[in-house]
C-alpha cells in the first residue's frame, strides 16, 4: 500500500512561533517528518510519496541524512505548492489503489498503529487528531472519496463516508492523535517520543517543568 505525507517546511508550525525561532521550527518539522517516515518504513506500507510545498531537492537532501528506511520502501518527493485539500483531492481522483494519507507532524506514530489502520477492512478509516483533526485517513477507493481538511475534519470525513455509502471505522490512537502544533503538545513529544524530533527538542534545551498547579509544561533553557 502507498502512503501520502503532506509536508510544509516554510513557516512551519507557526503556533510555536513564540517559543521556537523560525529556523528551529523548520528543523523540528523535518525531524517530525523523519519520525513519521521511520514509523511508515517499519510498517507494511511499501511506497511513500511526500507531497511537499517546498523544493523537492531540498527535502530529498534532508531525508537522506541519517534517516534509516527499509531498503524496499519506495520513497518519492513531489513538489506541489497548492493548498492541502486541492492537491490531495486532485491526487486521489486519479488514484486507483488504496492510499493512507498521514500527517507529517505526528512523530509519536508507531509502525504498529499504522499496520492496525491498514488492516481494517472498511473502505475508509479515520484516525482523529486533537481538536477535530484527521491525522491518518485510509481510503481503499480513493477516487470515491473527497477530503476536507481544516475545521472539524474528522466529522466531515465521517459524513462524507456516510453520504457516499462507504463503510468506515474510527481508529482510536493517542499517539496518532498527537499532532505537534502548540507548546503544550511538546510535552507529549518529550514524554513519549523516542525519535529524531524528541532528540532535537532536548538538544536545543526544551525541558519539562511542573508549574504551581502540578501541570507539566515545556520550557526552553537558552542559557
Which parts of this chain interact with its own copies (CB under 8 A)? 15, 110, 113, 128, 130-132, 150-152, 154-155, 172-177, 184, 187-188, 191-192, 208, 210, 213-216
What's the closest the beta carbon of residue 214 comes to its own copies, in angstroms? 6
Is the Cβ of residue 59 or residue 136 nearer to its own copies in the bound state?
Answer: 136
Q: Which residue, 130 or 164, is less far from its own copies as judged by CB?
A: 130
* CB of 15 vs its own copies, minimal distance in Å: 7
Q: Which of 82, 134, 62 is nearest to 105 (CA)?
A: 134
Nearer to its own copies, 69 or 152 (CB): 152
How many residues comprise the chain? 223
178-211 residues labelled b (16+ CB within 10 A) or e (exposed): bbbbbbebbbbbbeebebbbbebbeeeebeeeee
The residue assigned the cell 530529498 is: 60
The smaller minimum CB distance to its own copies, of residues 165 and 213, is found at 213
Cell of 24: 528551529
Instruction: Name the strand (E) or helix (H) holding 35.
Output: helix 22-41
Distances 128 to 66, 107, 218 between C-alpha atoms, Å: 30, 15, 24
Output 113 or 142, the one with its CB closest to its own copies.
Answer: 113
Separation CA 80–CA 93 (nearest Å):
16
User: Shortest Cβ distance from residue 114 to its own copies (Å)?
Assistant: 12
Q: How far is the CB of 97 from its own copies (least distance, A)?
A: 27
Q: Least Å distance between CB 133 and its own copies? A: 9
Amino acid at each position: 500500500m502507498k502512503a501520502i505525507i503532506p509536508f510544509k517546511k516554510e513557516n512551519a508550525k507557526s503556533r510555536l512561533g513564540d517559543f521556537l525561532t523560525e529556523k528551529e521550527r523548520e528543523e523540528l518539522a523535518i525531524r517530525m517528518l523523519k519520525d513519521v517516515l521511520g514509523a511508515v518504513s517499519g510498517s507494511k506500507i511499501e511506497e511513500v510519496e511526500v507531497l511537499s510545498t517546498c523544493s523537492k531537492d531540498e527535502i530529498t537532501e534532508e531525508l537522506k541524512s541519517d534517516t534509516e528506511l527499509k531498503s524496499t520502501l519506495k520513497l518519492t518527493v513531489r513538489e506541489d505548492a497548492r493548498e492541502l485539500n486541492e492537491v490531495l483531492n486532485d491526487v486521489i481522483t486519479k488514484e486507483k489503489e488504496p492510499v493512507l494519507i498521514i500527517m507529517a507532524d505526528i512523530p509519536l506514530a508507531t509502525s504498529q498503529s499504522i499496520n492496525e489502520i491498514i488492516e481494517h477492512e472498511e473502505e475508509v478509516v479515520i484516525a482523529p487528531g486533537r481538536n477535530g483533526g484527521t491525522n491518518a485517513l485510509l481510503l481503499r477507493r480513493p477516487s470515491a472519496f473527497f477530503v476536507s481538511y481544516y475545521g472539524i475534519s474528522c466529522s466531515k470525513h465521517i459524513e462524507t463516508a456516510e453520504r457516499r455509502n462507504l463503510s468506515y471505522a474510527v481508529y482510536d490512537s493517542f499517539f496518532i492523535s498527537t499532532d505537534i502544533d502548540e507548546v503544550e503538545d511538546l510535552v507529549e513529544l518529550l514524554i513519549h517520543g523516542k525519535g529524531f524530533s524528541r532528540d532535537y527538542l532536548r538538544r536545543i534545551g526544551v525541558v519539562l517543568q511542573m508549574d504551581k498547579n502540578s501541570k507539566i509544561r515545556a520550557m526552553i533553557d537558552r542559557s
